Amino acid sequence: MIMQMPKIYRDENVLEAAFARLRYIFTEFDNVYFCVSGGKDSSVMVQLAERVASEMNRTYDVLYIDFEAQYAATIRHIDELKTLKHIDTFFHVALPMALRNAVSMLQPKWICWDEDKKDLWVRPKPDACISLKNCPFDFFRYGMEFENFIRDFALWYHLSKGGKTACCVGIRADESLTRFNTIATPERKITYMGKSWTTKLFHEHEVYNVFPVIDWRAEDIWGAVSQLDLMMNDVYEMMYKNGMSIYKQRLCQPYGDDQKNGLDQFRALEPDTWERVLNRVNGVNFGNIYCRTSALGNIQSMKPEEMSWEQYTVFLMESIGLYNRALMEHYLGKIRKFIRWYEKHEGITVKDIPSEADKKLEQQKKAISWRRIARALEKNDFYMKRLSFAQTKSDEKKLRTFVNTWSNFLTMETAKEDTDLNRFMERQELENG
């Protein structure tokens, strides 16, 4: 069993320690570059480096991977960082890379800046960036994993420069146990001259990851911003005003494993960006399919041809969940009961559900199919009467809660295509006077 090493505190404060590390880095390494994300940690790190570079008459490079689905405030801050005087080359990379997509079972990966999805891009590609048209990286492959790009870039950069290379990364041990163990267990790794805040990347090459602010806390980051009057990403101010603790403020990848926080964050801070972010990954403009307008009274389904009815059902459920998780869970409960009934009484398991059944039988509610389920979702059938459910008091109570919680959840205009919803809204109007 590996024992976790305790933190060892010194008389030197973390700001002094960071400056000392940066001076050491610029003294020992021939080539230095900084990985920035627009987040608070890497932003502070590179601005401290700017001061040390000025003091030592050195230059450095910066690597920024632009994931396309970014806050507008983050892009503005990146443009601010580009003005730092001692930057030699700023690698603003906007290449099509594969990223995790935890919001969809249908599409577990998505490719940022995918040329085939140009009409869905969250924002236009920046003018001054590295794209497919001017890519200098011989290692790059269309749709390669982000993690592989980071490692391959380090080797490419080192081989193009020669000498010893430091890749500076703005991670803090306080963010996670894994990060703490990065420096707490040096026996697991090769370090540079025994420095616990360094890690050798390649056995045969002198390339090291270095972590100048590894021992900082969130308070230290904001203390440095205030004390040194550093530039900062305005998105953190918006997060704070939105009631988010400084310990939970992170630039979440909107479709990553923490996607609910990421998407909710986008929705609260930059609603316009949020709408584009949602449409981007599903590949179909969900707002056009499930926008709760009179268009939903149509006879034709809006299922894309390339999707099966089962896939389309999953797509609709995932998309509803992105907009309103409580509503998705309401529908999911109904669908599960519907499927269980057919399994118990007809012996039809989930894997046996047909894509389509006889249309007459579906309309008479006498056959199960993925089409029947999808059409109920498309029709905004809150009570799921199309799946043979009766309108219950608990459903009515739930719908009332939804309407009172979200002001635009349901209106007279959007309810008019469904008789039951229309009656509900009429009762609401009478009760509200």
228, 254, 275: which is the final residue of a domain?
228
Residue 418 near residue 379 (C-beta atoms within 8 A): yes
Q: Which region among 83-92, 363-372, 414-423 has the lowest average model confidence (pLDDT)?
A: 414-423
Helices and strands, counts by H and E, the chain: 17, 9
Residue type, position 264, single letter: D
Q: Is pLDDT of 178 > 60? A: no
Length of the chain: 433
66-75, 130-139, 286-295, 316-325: range with highest mean pLDDT: 130-139
Asked whether residue 418 is assigned to any structural domain, the reply reads yes
List, in sequence order, every residue forming a beta bridge with 210; answer none if it has no partner: 168, 198
Q: Is pLDDT of 409 > 60? A: yes
Q: Which two tokens stand for residue 281?
A: 């990954």
Asked whether residue 405 is assigned to any structural domain, the reply reads yes
- 397 pLDDT tier (thresholds 50, 70, 90): confident
For residues 24 and 107, state if they share a domain: yes
Q: Which region among 15-19, 146-150, 405-409 has the lowest average model confidence (pLDDT)?
A: 405-409
Domain extent for 140 = 14-228
Q: What is the CATH number of the domain that holds 206?
A: 3.40.50.620
Higher pLDDT, residue 96 or 312: 96
Cα 172-176-179 angle, rounded to 5 deg: 55
Q: Is pLDDT of 292 > 60? A: no
pLDDT, residue 325, reads 79
Q: Which region among 66-80, 105-119, 147-161, 269-283 has the lowest average model confidence (pLDDT)?
A: 269-283
* Residue with tokens 């930059």, as numbered in its chain: 270
- Separation between Cα atoms, residue 267 and residue 406, nearest integer Å: 14
* Average pLDDT of span 177-190: 56
| Strands 109-111 vs 97-100: parallel, antiparallel or unpaired | antiparallel
Asked whether residue 156 is assigned to any structural domain, the reply reads yes
* Average pLDDT of span 7-36: 90
Q: Is pLDDT of 405 > 80? A: no
pLDDT, residue 105, reads 57
For residues 210 and 303, state if they share a domain: no
For residues 304 and 426, state if they share a domain: yes
167, 195, 228: which is the final residue of a domain?
228
Q: Which region among 46-50, 103-107, 166-170, 245-249 has the lowest average model confidence (pLDDT)?
A: 103-107
pLDDT, residue 219, reads 94
228, 250, 274: which is the final residue of a domain?
228
List, in sequence order, every residue forming a beta bridge with 200; answer none if it has no partner: 208
- 140 pLDDT tier (thresholds 50, 70, 90): very high
For residues 339 and 211, state if they share a domain: no
Residue 122 near residue 69 (C-beta atoms within 8 A): yes
pLDDT, residue 228, reads 97
Q: What is the percentage of the chain residues whose pLDDT exceeds 70? A: 82
For residues 220 and 90, state if they share a domain: yes
Q: What is the mean pLDDT of the chain?
A: 84
* Average pLDDT of span 218-237: 95
Residue type, position 3, single letter: M
Q: Which two tokens stand for residue 18?
A: 């960071």
Summarised one tens digit per residue, pLDDT across range 267-291 is 777 877 777 887 787 543 444 444 4
For residues 22 and 126, state if they share a domain: yes
For residues 333 and 410, state if they share a domain: yes
* Average pLDDT of span 245-268: 69
For residues 72 and 209, state if they share a domain: yes
For residues 337 and 423, state if they share a domain: yes
**Number of Cβ atoms within 10 Å of the Cβ of 407:** 8
Asked whether residue 292 is assigned to any structural domain, the reply reads no
Task: Quote the number of domains for the chain.
Answer: 2
Asked whether residue 340 is assigned to any structural domain, the reply reads yes
Q: What is the percentage of the chain residues whose pLDDT exceeds 90? A: 55
Asked whether residue 85 is assigned to any structural domain, the reply reads yes
SS3 278: helix
**Number of Cβ atoms within 10 Å of the Cβ of 238:** 17
Helix axes 14-28, 218-228, angle to 10 degrees: 80
Q: Is pLDDT of 421 > 90? A: no
For residues 206 and 305, state if they share a domain: no
Q: Which two tokens stand for residue 122?
A: 């969250």
Asked whether residue 179 is assigned to any structural domain, the reply reads yes
- 293 pLDDT tier (thresholds 50, 70, 90): very low
SS3 282: helix
**Number of Cβ atoms within 10 Å of the Cβ of 86:** 16
- Separation between Cα atoms, residue 228 and residue 49, nearest integer Å: 13
pLDDT, residue 415, reads 65
Summarised one tens digit per residue, pLDDT across range 370-389 is 999 999 888 778 889 999 99
Q: Which residues of 179-208 are buried (b: 16+ CB within 10 A; e: fewer)?
A: ebebbbebeeeebbeebbbbbebeeeebbb
Q: Is pLDDT of 412 > 70? A: no
Asked whether residue 251 is assigned to any structural domain, the reply reads no
For residues 193 and 313, state if they share a domain: no
For residues 36 and 157, state if they share a domain: yes
